[in-house]
Structure 1
Amino acid sequence: MAHIFKKDSITFEINKSTIPEFVWHSSPRLSELVQSKHLHFDIKRLDPGKYSYPYHFHRNAEEIFVILKGKGMLRTNDSFEELVAGDIVFFEIGPTGAHQLYNHTLEICEYLDIRTEAGIDVCEYPDSGKVNILPYKEIYETNSRVEYFKGEDKVKDKWPDDGGL
């Protein structure tokens, strides 16, 4: 069955953060309205002088922006480029897909944000040294990264009997 979202019937909610530069408007998650299994999508609006999410990349999701209205300045791992209505941008998995959008104009920038949904994703924020385990929104600092076997040296103490070995 086709699900049609008429642009005049889409409403937007404001998403505020503790940092005023990170304020955007988003539609209800359209993907949830249709119970999408593999895609997460919604429409976002950036007011003038506002940023999308912090600069980030995904370890288990691809993402696409389709600029619907206005302009935005895109930051990637190797450039800054202006996007205009009609532009489509694909972000691959991993550090080379890092991105952030900024509305550098006096008009609203509206875009469709589409991301694959394949269970758990890890979103990494290179500027602030954080990782976010999605969909749980568990955020940790990467500077606390440890060696795999750290704290495992007393494994025998956890077992009631070692079989006489």
Structure 2
Amino acid sequence: MSGENVKVINIDAVEPEPHQHGDGFAAEFRQLGRPLGAEKLGYQVIDIPEGKKPFPLHFHHANEEMFFVLAGEGVLRDGAGERTLRAGDCIACPPGPGSEHQILGGAGGIRVLAVSTRIAPEIVEYPESDKIGVINVPNRPDGSWLRQFMPKSETRDYWDGES
């Protein structure tokens, strides 16, 4: 036994990746899975400021997500409404309709550990904006991802454009 595949990283050693969109979306993401060499799970720590959201309300068709509140307070928005979150709360979001979710930072913000399966390709639905996202892992020669977002209501027939 060598233990060569077991890795440890301290969150303080991971550079935060800030993301912001408009006035409502902002968060800092610290990717843990890739630096640790994870293969089948993705995990990251997300710091969400007070009154902000890291992502739109959504659900996944392929991937399952789990969020564990490490510190602070916030609000979970889901299909049933809103629920208060505090340190120690664990949120399960299995794939499929009925698992819509979004986290908002409460007073002083909230820090969560996010864990997800890494199944690709993935389809994500955004019910409030009538969008569908199709996402695949970096599989192109240039390392880019296939990431397409489109209105769900604007479907095309399978044979459109074919002769």
Match of 1:62 in 2: 64
SS in 1 for 2:158: coil
Amino acid at match of 1:4: V
8 Å contact from structure 2 (residues 8, 36) kept in 1: no
TM-score (norm 2): 0.85
Q: Does 1:7 align with 2:8?
A: no
8 Å contact from structure 1 (residues 77, 95) kept in 2: no
Shift of 1:98: 0.8
Alignment coverage as a number of residue pairs: 150
SS in 1 for 2:62: coil
| Cα distance change of structure 1 residues 11 and 108 upon mapping to structure 2, 3 Å threshold | farther
Amino acid at match of 1:3: K
8 Å contact from structure 2 (residues 9, 36) kept in 1: no
Shift of 1:85: 0.5
1:6-85 to structure 2, matched below 5 A, reads 6-17=10-21, 19-27=22-30, 29-85=31-87
Higher strand share: 2
Higher helix share: 1
Shift of 1:149: 4.0
Deviations 1:26-55 (A, max 9, x none): 11x211112322111110001111012000
The runs of 5 or more residues in structure 2 that have no matched partner are 137-145
Rg larger in 1 or in 2? 1
Q: Name the stretch that deviates more: 31-40 or 94-103.
A: 31-40
Amino acid at match of 2:114: D
Quote the sequence identity (%): 25
Shift of 1:88: 0.7
| Cα distance change of structure 1 residues 9 and 34 upon mapping to structure 2, 3 Å threshold | closer
Amino acid at match of 2:23: P
User: CA separation in 1, counterparts of 2:96 and 2:147?
Assistant: 18
Match of 1:115 in 2: 116
